Amino acid sequence: MARKVKKKKAKRTRMKSGDFLLTILVLALVVFGIIMVFSASYYSSISETGDPYTYLKDHIVWALLGAVVMLVTALLDYHIYEKLAPLLLVASLILLVLLFTPLGVTRNYATRWLGVGSFTLMPGEVAKICAILFVAWFLSRDSKRIRSFFKGVLPLLVLCGIYFGLIIMQPNLSTAITICAIIIGMMFVAGLNILYLIAIGVLGGGGILALALADEEGYWMKRITSFMDPFQDPLGSGWQVIQSLLALGSGGLFGVGLGKSIQKTLYLPEPQNDFIFSIIGEELGFVGCLMLIICYLVLIWRGSHIALNAPDLFGTLVAAGITIMLAVQVILNIAVVTSSMPPTGITLPFISYGGNALLLFMGSFGIMLNISRHSAV
């Protein structure tokens, strides 16, 4: 009896601790993000509002809210999402449909926000975590379901198509690719046949190319050509990519120094958002970029560790989905700023300015922490 009591106490202690390294890394990245958002946005903020601290103050508020959300999700038993998953899926789809009503807010030729007064929400960001929770619920109900094409694979491919269609209409290719990659990645973790995975990849790539070729206005094709040769239109579609490459190149090994970037002085558009990695490269150099990438790799490792040691299949798939989401966004963002793929408009996790994305990642990693509290290791 004494041994049993001792075991129970030990289990409770483990549940209270969570993954310490993951917590420290997330908080460190958020603090680093605040510093870099201030540095990158300084001149843009003066130009737009006359106040150099506008973006900084907003980002600090979002970071504090994110810390609260992360704490709540870290303490809340993750099994509650298992019951809410179908409802969350429906809610995310409704939010995406509402973008095409008068509630949709258009900025820079894209309708990605819902606006009520001064409050704005990005349904695409909400859709990411809702998709993760639903797919985890769907696949964990029957672990053998993924082996059946009609019962397991096809329904999730249809879900991919629905999400992709609603998001690409905004247009927002990066979020559409991210959500589809998350769903397919989770299917692979659950046991998707490798031949299905290859077929899905080929068909998906072909579908995106067909979309670009079928675009009468040439929006997607212009993005592809600007990535392949940005100097074809250096003052138009290639401008942002060229300025990004100049920032990365001028940073050298150790950078020009924190706060001393030249490209952020109204040369590089949106330096505090999608292209903040370029400013990091310019100010902190190759070494700074490498250290940041190492931090992300450690987070991916900890996420994989938590997924492997989760107490049930639902926890494994949720942790895997969040880890895949982080990995995909980091890869896409760095690929865009280094001109390795067409510009898509995706934030760098925990670093870029943007409240919706920051809340999403901090809340998601709070869920990850809760899963780690329940794990046996």
Question: How far apart are alpha carbons 30 and 63 in whole angstroms?
Answer: 7
The pLDDT of residue 97 is: 93
Q: Is the pLDDT of residue 38 over 70?
A: yes
Reduce the secondary structure of 63-93 to three states and give it as a string: HHHHHHHHHHHHHCCCCHHHHHHHHHHHHHH
Question: How far apart are alpha carbons 336 and 273 in whole angstroms?
Answer: 12
Contacts of residue 226, defined as CB under 8 A and 6 or more positions apart, other chains included, come to 232, 233, 236, 237, 238, 241, 342, 343
- Which whole-number Å values give the CA distances from 279 to 49, 255, 345, 357, in the listed order? 21, 10, 16, 19
Q: What is the DSSP letter of 348?
A: P
The burial class, CB within 10 Å (0-12 / 13-18 / 19+), for 133 is buried
* 313-337 helix and 355-374 helix, angle to the nearest 10 degrees: 140
The pLDDT of residue 240 is: 85
Contacts of residue 29, defined as CB under 8 A and 6 or more positions apart, other chains included, come to 295, 299, 349, 350, 351
Q: What is the pLDDT of residues 121-158, one digit of tens each?
A: 889 999 999 999 999 999 999 888 888 888 889 999 99
Mean pLDDT of 84-93: 95
* Longest Cα separation, the chain: 77
For residue 322, give the amino acid letter: I
Report the percentage of the chain scoring pLDDT > 70: 90
Q: Helices marked H in the chain — which ranges? A: 2-17, 20-49, 54-75, 80-98, 123-140, 154-168, 173-190, 194-214, 219-228, 239-251, 276-308, 313-337, 355-374
The pLDDT of residue 376 is: 59
Q: Is the pLDDT of residue 194 over 80?
A: yes
Question: How far apart are alpha carbons 19 and 368 in whole angstroms?
Answer: 9
The pLDDT of residue 227 is: 67
The pLDDT of residue 224 is: 66
Mean pLDDT of 42-47: 91
Picking from 120, 142, 121, the residue whose alpha carbon sits closest to that of residue 130 is: 121
The pLDDT of residue 210 is: 75
What does the chain come to in residues? Answer: 377
Residue 118 confidence class, pLDDT cut points 50, 70, 90:
low
Q: Is the pLDDT of residue 235 over 80?
A: no
Q: What is the pLDDT of residues 359-374, one digit of tens each?
A: 999 999 999 999 999 8
Q: What is the pLDDT of residues 346-360, one digit of tens each?
A: 899 999 998 889 999
The pLDDT of residue 202 is: 84
Mean pLDDT of 159-173: 89
Q: Is the pLDDT of residue 375 over 50?
A: yes
Q: What is the DSSP letter of 142?
A: -
The pLDDT of residue 318 is: 96
Q: What is the pLDDT of residues 239-292, one digit of tens each?
A: 888 898 999 999 899 999 998 999 998 888 888 988 999 999 999 999 999 999
Find the range with the poorest average confidence among 6-20, 58-72, 169-183, 265-279: 6-20
Q: Which two tokens stand for residue 47?
A: 């130009």
The model's pTM: 0.90
